[in-house]
A and B are shown apart, each in its own frame.
Chain A
Amino acid sequence: MSGSDPVLSPSPLYWPVQRQRNRGVRALFCVVAAFVAIYAYLFPGLLSIGGLSKFCQSWFPLALVSMAQAILMLTGGINLAIGATVSLGAVIAATTMSGPLGAPGAIAAVAFAGLGIGAICGLIVVRLRLPAIIVTLAGSFIIGGMALLVLPRPGGEIPAWFSDFLAGGTPVAALLLALIVLAWKLYLATPLGLSLYAAGENPVAAYRSGVPVDAARIAAYAISGLLSTGAGLYVAAQTGSGDPVIGQAFTLNSIAAAVLGGVGFLGGHGTMRGAIAGSLLLSVMVNVMFFLGFPPVAQYVAQGLIIIGAVALPQIGARGRRA
């Protein structure tokens, strides 16, 4: 990139722009901070390296899929195949990890599968102009079927050292997340990244201004696939084996986190920091409810209510101000 890059070398406009972008998610940040405070109060063990890394490990996969969902929603798409893609990543990791190529080969296979599946979905949606919701819904069956073919029943094996490295007592997950956020910042500074918001907000205007709309959208699908299979790899490392249906809950949760984070359905609206904060809120909420002794299914009820509340409250507030 050239020296006048807007992200790498802060111009006088950088911080005002960031403040502007934070405006929509400030309330969310306050709620997240409050929930984290409650969690830390209930569970003082959180405030140690071990507690923090354990929490980051439980949060990490959700953060990844929320980013995967948010990047597509920013382009005006949606991915209902995220759960299936996570499962596929998990089973590929569990079956290739102990193979001849070892961990590097498995990571490469998982990354390649994610990028490839994402790119194919993107090509179908963008080039053939089919609605994303249906393509990814049908795609979830195809990808889920592939996961079942790779590993018909839970099994496979992840070497213990690999699980210990990713999901042991060290804050590797937190570091990885920081690296991924940094990579996202860098991506936003590339031509494709810059096109992302433009392609989502107004594709026709963006196209006529010379923005590579199609390429930006297909790249977004590929990155989304990569993040999803990456989450699958991590889940496999956490559980030590592969499960062809382990990812199912991630589809809804990723949408919930992105929406909580203020990412709009119509494209071009929202921020990745919002989506990540949304995923943090969901996972803190689950942990707090678990700690308070709620039955696991009560999570569903609470989650449904919280999502509606989080989306509806700003609307009601806006109307109150207008009246």
Chain B
Amino acid sequence: MSDAGATPLFVRRAALFLRSGPFLTVLVVAAVWIVAGLTMAGFGSYGHLRYMLELAAVIGLVAAGQTLVVIGGGIDLSVGAIVTVSAVGVPLLPWDADASGVAAVLAILAGATGIGLLNGLGVAFLRVHPMIMTLAMATFLQGVLIIVAGGSAVSMHNPLVAWLGEARPWGVPAGIVLWVVVSLLTLLILHATPFGARIFALGANPLATSLSGVDVRVTTMAIFAASGLTAGLAGVLMLGMNGQGYVGIGDPYVLASIAAVVLGGTSILGGSGTYAGSIPGSALLVTITALITVVNASPGWRSILFGSLILGLLLLSGRESRRR
């Protein structure tokens, strides 16, 4: 690495960092926050920013698993349904005997992981394309949810979930603490473990990875299971913040998680990217939604604005895919 001559290593590293997708996304978020905070009353207040971060935590949790799947060359379109499963499932579990509510949450998280594992099984062993497998899973879950839960909202009485949604240890909402913990774990797994290296290899070239002795099937199942788990966590957090779950509560998170991942500079084709980009990507999405709400337009214009802004941001951050 010393043949580059005059420019010291840290300068080149710094230059690389300044041009990286995650950093640019952070810059965009910061710029939007500063401009909006100066021009709109109440936008820059501590309470509002904290609220936006809480909302971003839900997207960020879903995006954590989605990032792993996308880097591994797949895509998970069932995250919305899994969020709904866990938001509707916790109140429906008849476990009143357990006063703390831990058992119900653990059971739902295990269930969500199991759904992800099923996705992974289908992709790895039945060789179904990830998009089909997860779309079919989402369709299947949607049917089951309507049969089980019906059209009405279900309220929850789970102390642990309520604590997650409302508690503020050291002034920081518990949801954000959860997000930070999951983020650190995801980044650690992705960039500092052999398993993380295998995910990148799998996304870059599955055949070469398989020929190098990596068990591609186990890796595939693991990333889909991880996606199920984080979607399940997001559903529990949503339930805590909302107080009730209903069928369809998780639907927006399919697009949101994919957009957060791609806005963060992860290639949708797999093999390159980082969760460090998805974190500001999630914040950016929530910011966009908040701005659109402030504009106070009709639902039609709101939808158009949302789609156009995502498309426009993609043009900015999609440079990596252009080179491929």
A residues with CB within 8 A of B: 78, 124, 128-131, 133-135, 137-149, 152, 244, 252, 255-256, 259, 265, 295, 297-305, 307-308, 311-312, 315-316
Which residues of A are found within 8 Å of B16, using beta-carbon distances? none
- Interface CB pairs A-B, < 8 A, 10: A131-B262, A131-B321, A138-B307, A138-B311, A139-B311, A141-B255, A142-B304, A265-B131, A301-B147, A304-B139
Please tell me if the beta carbons of B126 and A299 are within 8 angstroms of each other in the complex: no
Partner of B140, one of A128, A255, A305: A305
**With A129-B321, A134-B262 known to touch, is A300 a contact of B303 (CB < 8 Å)?**
no
**With A124-B311, A141-B307, A142-B304 known to touch, is A312 a contact of B268 (CB < 8 Å)?**
no
Please tell me if the beta carbons of B143 and A130 are within 8 angstroms of each other in the complex: no
Which residues of B are found within 8 Å of A304, using beta-carbon distances? 136-141, 143
Q: Which of B38-46, B218-226, B293-301 contacts A (4 or more CB under 8 A)?
A: B293-301
B197 within 8 A of A: no
Please tell me if the beta carbons of B315 and A141 are within 8 angstroms of each other in the complex: no
Please tell me if the beta carbons of B132 and A307 are within 8 angstroms of each other in the complex: yes
Which residues of B are found within 8 Å of A265, using beta-carbon distances? 129, 131-132
Please tell me if the beta carbons of B128 and A308 are within 8 angstroms of each other in the complex: yes
Which residues of B are found within 8 Å of A305, using beta-carbon distances? 136, 140
- The DSSP consensus for interface residues of chain B is helix
Which residues of A are found within 8 Å of B304, using beta-carbon distances? 141-142, 145-146, 149
Please tell me if the beta carbons of B135 and A312 are within 8 angstroms of each other in the complex: no
B residues with CB within 8 A of A: 75, 122, 126-129, 131-133, 135-144, 146-147, 255, 258-259, 262, 268-269, 298-308, 310-311, 314-315, 318, 321-322
Which residues of B are found within 8 Å of A312, using beta-carbon distances? 122, 126-128
**With A301-B143, A304-B139, A304-B140 known to touch, is A148 a contact of B303 (CB < 8 Å)?**
yes
Which 5 A-B pairs rank lowest in CB-CB distance, beginning with the nearest? A300-B143, A304-B140, A141-B307, A145-B303, A148-B300
Please tell me if the beta carbons of B303 and A311 are within 8 angstroms of each other in the complex: no
Which residues of B are found within 8 Å of A303, using beta-carbon distances? 136, 139-140, 143
Please tell me if the beta carbons of A152 and B299 are within 8 angstroms of each other in the complex: yes
Please tell me if the beta carbons of B146 and A297 are within 8 angstroms of each other in the complex: yes
B323 to chain A, nearest CB (A): 9
B69 to chain A, nearest CB (A): 13
Rounded to whole angstroms, the CA-CA distance of A256 and B132 in the bound complex is 8
Partner of A134, one of B129, B146, B258, B322: B258
Please tell me if the beta carbons of A148 and B143 are within 8 angstroms of each other in the complex: no
Rounded to whole angstroms, the CA-CA distance of A311 and B130 in the bound complex is 11
Please tell me if the beta carbons of B75 and A133 are within 8 angstroms of each other in the complex: yes
B142 to chain A, nearest CB (A): 5
Please tell me if the beta carbons of B298 and A131 are within 8 angstroms of each other in the complex: no
Rounded to whole angstroms, the CA-CA distance of A124 and B306 in the bound complex is 17
Please tell me if the beta carbons of A139 and B307 are within 8 angstroms of each other in the complex: yes
Which residues of A are found within 8 Å of B129, using beta-carbon distances? 259, 265, 311
Most chain-B CB neighbours within 10 Å: which of A297, A303, A304?
Answer: A304
Rounded to whole angstroms, the CA-CA distance of A137 and B318 in the bound complex is 15
Please tell me if the beta carbons of B268 and A131 are within 8 angstroms of each other in the complex: yes
Please tell me if the beta carbons of B139 and A307 are within 8 angstroms of each other in the complex: yes
Closest B residue by C-beta to A314: B127
A193 to chain B, nearest CB (A): 25
Partner of B307, one of A142, A255, A298, A307: A142
Which residues of A are found within 8 Å of B127, using beta-carbon distances? 312, 315
Which residues of A are found within 8 Å of B128, using beta-carbon distances? 308, 311-312, 315
Which residues of A are found within 8 Å of B255, using beta-carbon distances? 137-138, 141
**With A145-B303, A149-B298 known to touch, is A134 a contact of B140 (CB < 8 Å)?**
no
Which residues of A are found within 8 Å of B299, using beta-carbon distances? 145, 148, 152
Most chain-A CB neighbours within 10 Å: which of B136, B310, B322?
Answer: B136
Closest B residue by C-beta to A258: B132
Please tell me if the beta carbons of A148 and B133 are within 8 angstroms of each other in the complex: no
